[in-house]
Structure 1
Amino acid sequence: MVTADDVRAIALSLPRAYEALVRDRVKFRVGRIVFLSLSPDETVLGFGYPKEERAALIEAEPDKFFLPIPSDMRYNWMRVRLAAIDHAELEELVIDSWRMTVPKKVWTEYLASRES
Protein backbone atom coordinates (compact mmCIF):
# COMPACT_ATOMS: atom_id res chain seq x y z
CA MET A 1 0.00 0.00 0.00
CA VAL A 2 1.20 3.49 -0.82
CA THR A 3 0.31 6.83 0.74
CA ALA A 4 -0.08 10.44 -0.26
CA ASP A 5 3.45 11.01 1.06
CA ASP A 6 4.75 8.48 -1.47
CA VAL A 7 2.88 10.29 -4.24
CA ARG A 8 4.34 13.61 -3.09
CA ALA A 9 7.90 12.27 -2.93
CA ILE A 10 7.80 10.87 -6.46
CA ALA A 11 5.92 13.79 -8.04
CA LEU A 12 8.08 16.51 -6.52
CA SER A 13 11.26 14.76 -7.64
CA LEU A 14 10.28 15.33 -11.27
CA PRO A 15 11.53 18.37 -13.23
CA ARG A 16 9.10 21.32 -13.39
CA ALA A 17 6.56 19.60 -11.10
CA TYR A 18 5.06 21.44 -8.15
CA GLU A 19 2.28 20.98 -5.62
CA ALA A 20 -0.79 23.20 -5.39
CA LEU A 21 -3.85 23.23 -3.15
CA VAL A 22 -7.00 23.77 -5.21
CA ARG A 23 -10.40 23.69 -3.47
CA ASP A 24 -9.09 21.51 -0.64
CA ARG A 25 -7.45 19.04 -3.05
CA VAL A 26 -3.74 18.47 -3.44
CA LYS A 27 -2.80 18.66 -7.11
CA PHE A 28 0.52 18.28 -8.84
CA ARG A 29 1.18 20.41 -11.88
CA VAL A 30 3.61 21.24 -14.61
CA GLY A 31 2.90 24.84 -15.50
CA ARG A 32 -0.88 25.11 -15.38
CA ILE A 33 -1.50 21.49 -16.37
CA VAL A 34 -2.55 19.08 -13.61
CA PHE A 35 -1.01 15.64 -13.93
CA LEU A 36 -2.02 14.21 -10.52
CA SER A 37 -4.79 14.94 -8.04
CA LEU A 38 -5.41 13.42 -4.62
CA SER A 39 -8.91 12.98 -3.24
CA PRO A 40 -9.65 15.04 -0.09
CA ASP A 41 -9.19 11.93 2.08
CA GLU A 42 -5.99 11.05 0.16
CA THR A 43 -7.11 7.49 -0.66
CA VAL A 44 -7.66 7.97 -4.40
CA LEU A 45 -5.25 9.34 -6.98
CA GLY A 46 -6.40 10.89 -10.24
CA PHE A 47 -3.75 10.74 -12.94
CA GLY A 48 -3.25 11.56 -16.59
CA TYR A 49 -3.94 8.57 -18.83
CA PRO A 50 -4.93 8.22 -22.50
CA LYS A 51 -8.71 8.13 -22.95
CA GLU A 52 -8.56 5.40 -25.58
CA GLU A 53 -6.80 3.03 -23.16
CA ARG A 54 -9.05 3.50 -20.12
CA ALA A 55 -11.42 0.61 -20.78
CA ALA A 56 -8.59 -1.90 -21.14
CA LEU A 57 -6.98 -0.76 -17.89
CA ILE A 58 -10.22 -1.07 -15.94
CA GLU A 59 -11.01 -4.43 -17.52
CA ALA A 60 -7.57 -5.76 -16.59
CA GLU A 61 -7.67 -4.58 -12.96
CA PRO A 62 -11.13 -3.36 -11.88
CA ASP A 63 -10.23 -3.60 -8.19
CA LYS A 64 -7.54 -0.93 -8.67
CA PHE A 65 -8.64 1.43 -11.42
CA PHE A 66 -11.88 3.27 -12.13
CA LEU A 67 -13.21 6.04 -14.34
CA PRO A 68 -13.04 9.70 -13.43
CA ILE A 69 -16.14 11.63 -12.46
CA PRO A 70 -18.45 12.39 -15.43
CA SER A 71 -17.21 15.98 -15.85
CA ASP A 72 -13.63 14.70 -16.22
CA MET A 73 -14.44 12.06 -18.85
CA ARG A 74 -13.47 14.47 -21.64
CA TYR A 75 -9.90 14.61 -20.31
CA ASN A 76 -7.07 12.07 -20.46
CA TRP A 77 -7.75 11.05 -16.87
CA MET A 78 -8.16 7.95 -14.67
CA ARG A 79 -8.34 7.14 -10.97
CA VAL A 80 -6.69 4.51 -8.81
CA ARG A 81 -7.16 3.37 -5.22
CA LEU A 82 -3.84 3.95 -3.45
CA ALA A 83 -4.41 1.00 -1.11
CA ALA A 84 -4.52 -1.34 -4.11
CA ILE A 85 -1.11 -0.54 -5.63
CA ASP A 86 2.51 -0.90 -4.63
CA HIS A 87 5.37 1.59 -4.85
CA ALA A 88 6.60 0.38 -8.26
CA GLU A 89 3.11 0.76 -9.78
CA LEU A 90 2.75 4.20 -8.24
CA GLU A 91 6.07 5.34 -9.61
CA GLU A 92 5.14 4.16 -13.11
CA LEU A 93 1.74 5.91 -13.00
CA VAL A 94 3.19 9.18 -11.70
CA ILE A 95 6.05 9.30 -14.18
CA ASP A 96 3.86 8.36 -17.16
CA SER A 97 1.29 10.99 -16.19
CA TRP A 98 4.00 13.64 -15.77
CA ARG A 99 5.51 12.68 -19.11
CA MET A 100 2.21 13.55 -20.83
CA THR A 101 2.58 17.16 -19.63
CA VAL A 102 6.22 18.06 -20.22
CA PRO A 103 8.01 18.90 -23.47
CA LYS A 104 9.81 16.01 -25.14
CA LYS A 105 13.18 17.62 -24.36
CA VAL A 106 12.45 17.58 -20.61
CA TRP A 107 11.36 13.95 -20.77
CA THR A 108 14.44 12.83 -22.72
CA GLU A 109 16.78 14.69 -20.32
CA TYR A 110 15.05 13.05 -17.37
CA LEU A 111 15.29 9.63 -18.97
CA ALA A 112 19.00 10.14 -19.71
CA SER A 113 19.65 11.17 -16.10
CA ARG A 114 17.95 7.99 -14.81
CA GLU A 115 20.04 5.81 -17.08
CA SER A 116 23.34 7.24 -15.85
Structure 2
Amino acid sequence: MDPLTRIRAICLALPESSERLSHGCPNFFVRSKTAFTMYMEDHHREPGATIWCPAPEGVQAELVDAEPERFFVPPYVGHRGWIGVRLEVDPDWAEITEIIHDAYRKVAPKRLAAQLD
Protein backbone atom coordinates (compact mmCIF):
# COMPACT_ATOMS: atom_id res chain seq x y z
CA MET A 1 0.00 0.00 0.00
CA ASP A 2 1.40 3.41 -0.88
CA PRO A 3 2.08 5.86 1.97
CA LEU A 4 -0.72 8.30 1.08
CA THR A 5 -3.32 5.54 1.11
CA ARG A 6 -2.17 4.46 4.59
CA ILE A 7 -2.00 8.04 5.92
CA ARG A 8 -5.44 8.78 4.48
CA ALA A 9 -6.92 5.69 6.19
CA ILE A 10 -5.38 6.63 9.56
CA CYS A 11 -6.47 10.28 9.38
CA LEU A 12 -9.98 9.82 8.02
CA ALA A 13 -10.79 7.23 10.70
CA LEU A 14 -10.59 10.01 13.30
CA PRO A 15 -13.79 11.78 14.45
CA GLU A 16 -14.96 14.64 12.22
CA SER A 17 -11.80 14.60 10.12
CA SER A 18 -11.66 15.58 6.47
CA GLU A 19 -9.16 15.93 3.65
CA ARG A 20 -8.54 18.71 1.16
CA LEU A 21 -5.65 20.05 -0.84
CA SER A 22 -3.71 22.89 0.70
CA HIS A 23 -0.69 24.30 -1.06
CA GLY A 24 -1.09 21.49 -3.60
CA CYS A 25 -0.76 18.68 -1.02
CA PRO A 26 -3.27 16.50 0.82
CA ASN A 27 -3.96 17.91 4.27
CA PHE A 28 -6.17 16.47 6.98
CA PHE A 29 -8.34 18.66 9.18
CA VAL A 30 -10.53 18.49 12.27
CA ARG A 31 -14.00 19.86 11.47
CA SER A 32 -12.63 21.16 8.15
CA LYS A 33 -10.79 23.93 10.02
CA THR A 34 -7.63 22.93 11.85
CA ALA A 35 -4.88 20.91 10.17
CA PHE A 36 -3.45 17.96 12.06
CA THR A 37 -1.51 16.17 9.30
CA MET A 38 0.07 17.43 6.09
CA TYR A 39 1.24 14.90 3.51
CA MET A 40 4.05 15.94 1.14
CA GLU A 41 6.04 14.25 -1.59
CA ASP A 42 9.38 15.68 -2.68
CA HIS A 43 8.76 19.07 -1.04
CA HIS A 44 11.03 21.52 0.71
CA ARG A 45 14.28 19.62 0.09
CA GLU A 46 12.87 16.40 1.55
CA PRO A 47 12.96 13.56 -0.97
CA GLY A 48 10.11 11.07 -0.94
CA ALA A 49 6.96 11.05 1.15
CA THR A 50 6.75 12.89 4.47
CA ILE A 51 4.11 13.99 6.93
CA TRP A 52 4.14 17.06 9.12
CA CYS A 53 2.14 17.02 12.36
CA PRO A 54 1.83 19.15 15.49
CA ALA A 55 3.45 17.33 18.40
CA PRO A 56 3.07 17.54 22.17
CA GLU A 57 5.54 19.86 23.85
CA GLY A 58 9.09 18.50 23.91
CA VAL A 59 8.42 15.62 21.51
CA GLN A 60 9.86 17.33 18.43
CA ALA A 61 13.32 17.78 19.97
CA GLU A 62 13.26 14.31 21.50
CA LEU A 63 12.48 12.57 18.19
CA VAL A 64 14.80 14.67 16.02
CA ASP A 65 17.68 14.19 18.46
CA ALA A 66 17.08 10.44 18.76
CA GLU A 67 16.52 9.63 15.06
CA PRO A 68 17.45 12.49 12.71
CA GLU A 69 17.34 10.15 9.72
CA ARG A 70 13.58 9.60 10.29
CA PHE A 71 12.44 12.82 11.95
CA PHE A 72 13.07 16.49 11.11
CA VAL A 73 11.91 19.99 11.95
CA PRO A 74 9.70 21.04 9.04
CA PRO A 75 9.92 24.54 7.58
CA TYR A 76 7.16 27.09 8.30
CA VAL A 77 5.57 25.12 11.17
CA GLY A 78 8.59 23.62 12.94
CA HIS A 79 8.99 26.66 15.18
CA ARG A 80 5.52 25.82 16.58
CA GLY A 81 6.60 22.32 17.62
CA TRP A 82 5.50 20.40 14.53
CA ILE A 83 7.41 17.24 13.63
CA GLY A 84 8.33 16.00 10.16
CA VAL A 85 8.39 12.24 9.54
CA ARG A 86 10.17 10.67 6.57
CA LEU A 87 7.93 7.82 5.43
CA GLU A 88 10.56 6.25 3.18
CA VAL A 89 12.93 5.48 6.08
CA ASP A 90 11.75 2.19 7.59
CA PRO A 91 8.24 3.36 8.56
CA ASP A 92 6.83 1.92 11.76
CA TRP A 93 3.11 2.25 11.00
CA ALA A 94 2.04 1.74 14.60
CA GLU A 95 4.32 4.63 15.62
CA ILE A 96 3.11 6.80 12.73
CA THR A 97 -0.49 6.10 13.75
CA GLU A 98 0.34 7.24 17.29
CA ILE A 99 2.04 10.41 15.98
CA ILE A 100 -1.08 11.24 13.96
CA HIS A 101 -3.36 10.50 16.92
CA ASP A 102 -1.22 12.76 19.14
CA ALA A 103 -1.42 15.50 16.49
CA TYR A 104 -5.19 15.14 16.37
CA ARG A 105 -5.43 15.30 20.17
CA LYS A 106 -3.30 18.44 20.17
CA VAL A 107 -5.65 20.43 17.90
CA ALA A 108 -9.09 18.79 18.25
CA PRO A 109 -11.75 20.10 20.61
CA LYS A 110 -11.62 18.24 23.94
CA ARG A 111 -14.87 16.35 23.27
CA LEU A 112 -13.52 14.92 20.00
CA ALA A 113 -10.04 14.19 21.38
CA ALA A 114 -11.64 12.29 24.29
CA GLN A 115 -13.18 9.87 21.79
CA LEU A 116 -9.70 8.46 21.13
CA ASP A 117 -9.20 7.45 24.77
Between structure 1 and structure 2, the one with the greater Rg is 1
Q: 1:90 to 1:52 in 2, by over 3 A?
A: closer
> 2:73 is matched with which residue?
67
Which residue number corresponds to residue 45 of structure 2? none
Contact 1:2/1:87 (8 A) holds in 2: no
- Give the corresponding residue for 1:6: 6
TM-score, structure 2 normalization: 0.82
1-10 vs 15-24, which moves further: 1-10
- Using the TM superposition, name which of 9-18 and 47-56 deviates more: 47-56
Q: Confirm whether residue 58 of structure 1 aligns to residue 59 of structure 2.
A: no
Quick one: higher RCO (CA 8 Å, sep 6+), 1 or 2?
Answer: 1
Partner of residue 81, structure 2? 76
Report the aligned-residue RMSD: 1.9
TM, length-normalised to structure 1: 0.83
Identity of aligned residues (%): 31
Amino acid in structure 1 at the alignment position of 2:7: V
**Unmatched runs of 5 consecutive residues or more in structure 2:** 43-47
Structure 1 unaligned regions, length at least 5: 112-116
Give the match's secondary structure for 1:45: strand
Q: Which has the higher strand share?
A: 2
Measured in 2, the distance between the counterparts of 1:30 and 1:76 equals: 18
Matched residue pairs, number?
110
